């Protein structure tokens, strides 16, 4: 059972590391970005709404994202195996809503893994990734949004004694090992 949030700037490697841990320990990987991109490609109402924000590098409104997370975290696989949240929460209201939901569901968080990466490295990685929202202007906007709206969560979780900071540059396997150590996993 693992219940963890992966926090960090865009391009920190949250997705890469989340997938590695999720596969190795058979824990549901919940990426709000992936859920939104799937909705966009299916052309659903949610997708249409989300696309207008994603294209600009802005955040989709809290109530929309919180609704998605409520539904997903209420599924039986999460009850049984836990979760790796990747890209959620991204704002203080999202973090507060998550606290409330997890306490209702009786599923306390084990840890928040904060993957920290230098600014130049982030821009370099995002420019080479080639996703639809990885153009230079949108990258700049996403970094600004991260600093203003998401970075305050570092203090929020640090005050709750849940935060573990891991430097996210270097060998992917080594970074996975550090995460496993932080989570008390065998490796």
Q: Does 53 bind ligand AMP (CB under 6 A)?
A: yes
24 as an active site residue: the answer is no
Nearest to 2 by CA among 105, 81, 76, 99: 81
Of 88, 114, 156, 157, the one binding ligand AMP by CB under 6 A: 88
Nearer to ligand AMP, 142 or 178 (CB): 142
Instruction: Choose, by CB under 6 A, the member of 30, 59, 126, 175 that binds ligand AMP.
Output: 59
Catalytic residue among 3, 20, 90, 178: 90
Query: Which residue's C-beta sits nearest to ligand AMP?
Result: 33
Q: For ligand AMP, which stretch binds (CB under 6 A), given 30-38, 95-103, 112-120, 162-170?
A: 30-38
Burial class (CB in 10 A: 0-12, 13-18, 19+), 157: buried
Q: Go through 52-72 and write b for each residue having 16 or more CB atoms within 10 A of its CB, e for each that does not.
A: ebbeebebbebebbbebbeeb
The string of DSSP letters for 58-114 reads: PPPPHHHHHHHHHHHHTSHHHHHHEEEEES---SHHHHHHHHHHHHHTT----EEEE
Closest to 18 measured CA to CA, from 42, 38, 40, 34: 34
CB of 150 or CB of 176, closer to ligand AMP: 150
Q: Does 65 bind ligand AMP (CB under 6 A)?
A: yes
Q: With binding defined as CB under 6 A, does residue 142 bind ligand AMP?
A: yes
Catalytic position from the list 3, 111, 142, 178: 142
- Minimum Å distance from CB 186 to ligand AMP? 28
Catalytic-residue membership of 90:
yes
Q: Is 111 a catalytic residue?
A: no
- Give the residue numbers marked as catalytic: 14, 90, 129, 131, 142
């Amino acid at each position: 059972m693992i219940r963890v949030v992966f926090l960090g700037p865009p391009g920190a490697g949250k997705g890469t590391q989340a997938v590695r841990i999720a596969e190795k320990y058979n824990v549901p990987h919940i990426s709000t970005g992936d859920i939104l991109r799937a909705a966009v490609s299916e052309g659903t109402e949610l997708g249409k709404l989300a696309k207008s924000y994603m294209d600009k590098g802005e955040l989709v409104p809290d109530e929309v994202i919180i609704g998605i997370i409520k539904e997903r975290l209420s599924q039986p696989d999460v009850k049984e195996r836990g979760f790796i949240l990747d890209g959620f929460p991204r704002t203080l209201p999202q973090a507060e809503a998550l606290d409330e939901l997890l306490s209702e569901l009786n599923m306390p968080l084990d840890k928040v893994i904060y993957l920290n990466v230098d600014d130049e490295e982030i821009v370099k990685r995002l420019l080479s990734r080639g996703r639809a929202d990885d153009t230079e202007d949108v990258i700049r906007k996403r970094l600004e949004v991260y600093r203003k709206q998401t970075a305050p969560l570092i203090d929020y979780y640090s005050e709750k004694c849940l935060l573990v900071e891991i430097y996210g540059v270097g060998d992917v396997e080594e970074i996975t090992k550090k995460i496993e150590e932080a989570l008390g996993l065998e490796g």
